[in-house]
Amino acid sequence: MKKVKLLSVALLATVGLMSAAIAQAEVTDTTTGTVHLIVDPDTDHPGAGDGDGGDTGQKGEFTLDHTVSYDFGEQSITGAEMTLNATQTRPYVQVTDLREKNSGWQLLTKITEFKSTDEANPGKILAGAVVTLPKGTAEAVDGTNISKAPTPQEVTLNAADTTLFSAEANAGTGSWMDKMYDAPTTLYIPAGATPGAYTATLTWTLQDAPGGEG
């Protein structure tokens, strides 16, 4: 009888250990990790390229950071048409979009007529002059940027806004450059141009509107 009792105690102890092991394997818990990303409205985004142009100093979550002026130099005319290259060989523009809505954007540009800067001929126009900006390369300021890149375009400038650089919805987030380094910016002048010094004004407009693939 004593043997039977001992065996019964040993069996009950083994079953108890198995139950405890099963119970421990099913114990779980969950926790959370949180972060809140904000934009400092007083922070600007300096141009990150090593090329021509100047910073705008704009601040906030949606900014046009860097633009460029063009100089086509002093050229001799012969009466024939001519195409001049800008002296700026590494022009770029830069856009920053840190908005939560990720709606996309477009960088538009346009140009006025080239007007005489000579006091003796204040109303003279360089008729038929055409500036063309080459298609550039989209490059993120930070190489770890995981956003889809915006799309650069070649544009022939006129008095109407033309899309140079654009991002579709959920693209172009962060700071992006349009580096127009691989081809020159050109000024076409038709035959019959009158000698003189001329200047035109380029306007750059960053618009809150999605751009499509080009």
Reported as a single tens digit per residue, the pLDDT across 77-110 is 999 999 999 999 999 999 999 999 999 999 999 9
Pair type for strands 174-179 and 92-97:
antiparallel
- What is the per-residue pLDDT for 19? 55
C-alpha 197/C-alpha 117 separation (Å) is 6
- What is the per-residue pLDDT for 8? 45
Tell the burial category of 198 from Cβ atoms under 10 Å away from its Cβ (0-12, 13-18, 19+).
buried
Its pTM stands at 0.84
- Other CB atoms within 10 Å distance of the CB of residue 126: 19
Select the CATH number that applies to the domain covering 54-207 from these four: 3.30.70, 1.10.155, 3.40.50, 2.60.40: 2.60.40
* Whether the predicted pLDDT of 173 surpasses 50: yes
Q: Which residue has the tokens 């009466």?
A: 79
Rg (CA), the chain: 32
In this predicted model, what pLDDT tens digit does every residue of 43-88 receive, in sequence order? Answer: 999 999 999 999 999 999 999 999 999 999 999 999 999 999 999 9
- The domains of the chain are located at 54-207
Q: Which residue has the tokens 């008095």?
A: 159
* Whether the predicted pLDDT of 1 surpasses 80: no
Q: Which residue has the tokens 């005489």?
A: 116
- What is the per-residue pLDDT for 121? 81
In this predicted model, what pLDDT tens digit does every residue of 102-157 receive, in sequence order? Answer: 999 999 999 999 999 988 888 899 999 999 999 999 999 999 999 999 999 999 99
- Other CB atoms within 10 Å distance of the CB of residue 93: 28
